[in-house]
Chain A
Amino acid sequence: MGTVATVVLALALIATYLTWTASRMDRLHARTDAARAALDAQLVRRAATALEVAASHGIEPLRAAASAGYHSEQDARAAAETALSEAMRSVSLDEESATALAEAGRRVVLARTFYNDAVRDTVAFRQRRVVRALRLVGHAPEPEPFEIDDTPPLDTPLADTPPIRDAPVSPRVVT
C-alpha cells in the first residue's frame, strides 16, 4: 500500500513538473512573439518618422533608406534597417526633427534589446533536455535574434547604451 502511494505521489509530482515546464515554454514563446510585434511596430514607426522628416526637408537619401526598410524581405531587412540608422545619423536637421528621429531611434533600441533578450531566454529553454525529449517546444519555430546597427542619431543617456556584444563586463562592489 505504501509503495502504491509513493508511486502515485511520484507520478503526480512528475506530472505537475511537466505541466509547469510546458507552461513556462509557452510563456517564453508568447513573450518572444509580443517582443517581436513590438519591435516591428517600432521599426515601422521609425521609418514613418524618417519618411515624414525626409518629405518635409526634401532629403532624398533618407526617404530612400526609410522606404527600403518597409519593402525589403526578411533576409534583406536587417541590412535595410542598418542603412536607415546610418542615413538618420548622417542628416543634419532642425532641433524638432532631430529630436523626433532620435526618439524613434531610441524606441527601436529598447524594443530590439527586449526582443533579443526574449529570444535568448526562449532558445536556452528550448535546448533543455526535458523540453527536447518531450517535445514541449510544440510547433513554434526557433526564434532568431535581430541584429542591426540601430545607434540613434542624438547622443543622449539612452542612446549611450553600447551594442550588446561589445559590452565591457567589469562588475564592481557597491552597497
Chain B
Amino acid sequence: MNVGIVCPYDWDVPGGVQAHVRDLAEALIAMGHRVSVLAPADPDDDAAAALPDYLVPAGRTVPVPYNGAVARLNFGVISATRVRRWLREGDFDVVHVHEPTVPGLSLLACFAARGPLVATFHTAIERSRLMAVAASALQPGLEKISGRIAVSEAARSTLIAHLGGDAVLVPNGVNAAHFASAEPLPGWPGEGGALGFLGRIDEPRKGLDVLVDAFERLAPKRPALRLLIAGPGDTDEVSEALAPELRSRVTLLGLVDEGTKARMLKSVDVYVAPNTGGESFGIVLLEALAAGTPVLASDLEAFSQVLDGGAAGRLFPVGDAEALAQAAGELLDSPQERDLLRTAGAAVAKRYDWSSVARQVLAVYEAVR
C-alpha cells in the first residue's frame, strides 16, 4: 500500500507523536509498504543529513502555545502549497494525519486531501472552550476523515467530548526488541537492589517526590539500596533536597538518549512510575516491561489498563509514599514475584510491539480504502 503520513510537530524536536510516527512508518516499511512522512523540519539545517529517506521536510516552524506547552508548528500559505504538492506527487492510497485538531500540517492536509483519510488522536485534555469553538471551525476539514483512531481510552474520551462521534482504539506501540536486547549500565543493579525512575524530574505530575519520600523510608533498613533517576530537569536541585547521607545512593543521569534509556531500564530491579496524573497511556511502562524489568506504578486508570489491572505489574494508590515503599520492599525481597511479573510483562509488551500495532493500523487503512 502507498501511505502518506503527516506529523504536525517539528521532526527535529523529540516528542511522543514524532516517535509514534517514526516507529509506525518504519514498521509499515518493514512490512513492504511504501511510506512518505510529511513533517516540519528545516531542510537547510545540519541535521538534514540525518533525516530518514521517507521524510519530506515541510520547512521551519513557528512556536505556538498549545495545551499548556509550546508546540512548534507550521501553517500558512507556503505550508498549504507544500502540503498540496506532497499530496499530488505522492498519489497515496491512504493519507494518515496525526493530531488533526492542532493548527498545522495535519489540518492543512485534511482540507487538501481528496482520497481516503485516516486520523490518529493522541492528546487527552480537559474540555476547553477554545476546543469547543475550534471544533466547529475545523469541522469542514475533520468531516473528511473516514477513519478515526485514538491511542488510548483517555484520548478517545477527549475526542468524543470535543468532536462527538467515535474512534477505534489502536494503542501506542513499543519497539520491544530494542529494550529487550539492551545491556545494563556498568555496576547496576548491584547486590543491594535498585529502583528506577524515568521522566521530567521537576514536573510534579511525574511524581518523583513520592518516590524520593518512599526511598527515604526504605533506605535506613536497606543500606545498599540505590535509586537510578533519568530525565531532564535540574539535577542539583533534586540532589540538594535529599538527606545528605542518601546522596551517594541516588544517581541522577539527567536527560538520556534512547540507547541509554533502554540500558537504564535494564539496570534496575524494579521500575517505579509514581505519576500523580496526566498520563493518557504510559508508554514508558511498556518499555520497562519490554526490557524485562518488573513495574511498580501508581494506580492511574491508564497505568492499570496497560498492566492488565495489576497482573503484569504491581499497583499502589496514587501519591501514597508509604504504600509505594511497602510494595517496593516486597518486590525487592521476592525474586519469585519479580519473575512472575517479568513473564506477564513480556506477554503484554509483545501485544504492544510495533509489528502487531502496525497490523492493526493497516486494518484501519483497509477499512477506509
Chain A positions within 8 Å of B, measured between CB atoms, are: 24, 27-28, 31, 34-35, 38, 42, 106-107, 109-111, 113-114, 116-118, 120-121, 125, 156-158, 160-161, 164, 167-175
In the complex, are the beta carbons of A157 and B125 less than 8 A apart? no
Q: Give B contacts to A, CB under 8 Å.
A: 67-69, 123-127, 140, 143-144, 146-148, 153-154, 156-158, 160-161, 164-171, 277-280, 301, 351-352, 357, 360, 363-364, 366-369
What's the minimum C-beta distance from B225 to chain A, rounded to whole angstroms? 31
Given the contacts A110-B363, A172-B124, A160 and B169 also touching, CB distance less than 8 Å: yes
Q: State the CA gap A120–B278 with chains docked (Å).
A: 30
What residues of chain A lie closer than 8 Å to B278, measured between beta carbons?
172-175
User: Given A42-B367, A172-B154, are A31 and B170 also a contact pair (CB < 8 Å)?
Assistant: no
> Given the complex of chains A and B, what is the CA–CA distance between A160 and B171 in angstroms?
11
> Given A24-B140, A156-B351, A167-B156, is A117 in contact with B165 using a C-beta cutoff of 8 Å?
yes
CA distance A110 to B360 in the complex (A): 10
Q: Are the C-beta atoms of B166 and A34 separated by less than 8 Å?
A: no
- Within the assembled complex, what's the spacing in Å between the Cα atoms of A114 and B156? 14
Interfacial chain A residues near B156, Cβ < 8 Å: 167
Bound Cα distance A28, B145 (Å)? 10
Of the candidates B143, B153, B158, the one whose C-beta lies within 8 Å of that of A121 is B143
**Most chain B CB atoms below 10 A, which of A107, A114, A118, A125:** A114
Distance of A114 Cα from B367 Cα, bound (Å): 8
Contacts beyond the supplied A107-B363, A174-B154: 14 A-B pairs with Cβ under 8 Å: A27-B144, A34-B146, A110-B367, A114-B168, A117-B165, A118-B146, A157-B170, A161-B169, A168-B157, A170-B154, A171-B125, A172-B124, A172-B126, A175-B69
How far apart are the CA atoms of A120 and B164 in the complex, in Å? 9
Shortest beta-carbon distance, B142 to chain A, in Å? Answer: 9
Q: Which residues of A contact B363 (CB under 8 A)?
A: 106-107, 110, 158
Neighbouring B residues of A174 by C-beta, 8 Å? 123-125, 154, 278-280
CB pairs A–B below 8 angstroms (17 shown) = A27-B143, A28-B143, A107-B367, A109-B168, A114-B146, A117-B166, A157-B170, A158-B360, A168-B153, A170-B157, A171-B126, A171-B127, A172-B126, A172-B154, A172-B277, A173-B124, A174-B123
Residue numbers in A under 8 Å from B166 (CB-CB): 113, 116-117, 164, 167
Asked whether, in the complex, the Cβ of A158 is within 8 Å of the Cβ of B170, the reply is yes
Given contact pairs A24-B143, A117-B148, A121-B143, A173 touches B126 in the complex (Cβ within 8 A) = yes
Give the complex CA separation of A117 and B148 in angstroms: 9
| For the complex of A and B, 9 pairs with smallest distance between CB atoms | A174-B280, A110-B367, A171-B158, A117-B165, A161-B169, A164-B166, A173-B278, A174-B124, A121-B143
Point out the residues of chain A lying under 8 angstroms from B143, CB to CB. 24, 27-28, 31, 121, 125
Residues of B within 8 A of A161 (CB): 168-169
Partner of B147, one of A110, A156, A168, A169: A110
Given known contacts A106-B363, A117-B166, A172-B124, is B144 in contact with A157 (CB within 8 Å)? no
Contact at B277–A173, with CB atoms within 8 Å? yes
Q: Which residues of A contact B367 (CB under 8 A)?
A: 38, 42, 107, 110-111, 114
A115 to chain B, nearest CB (A): 9
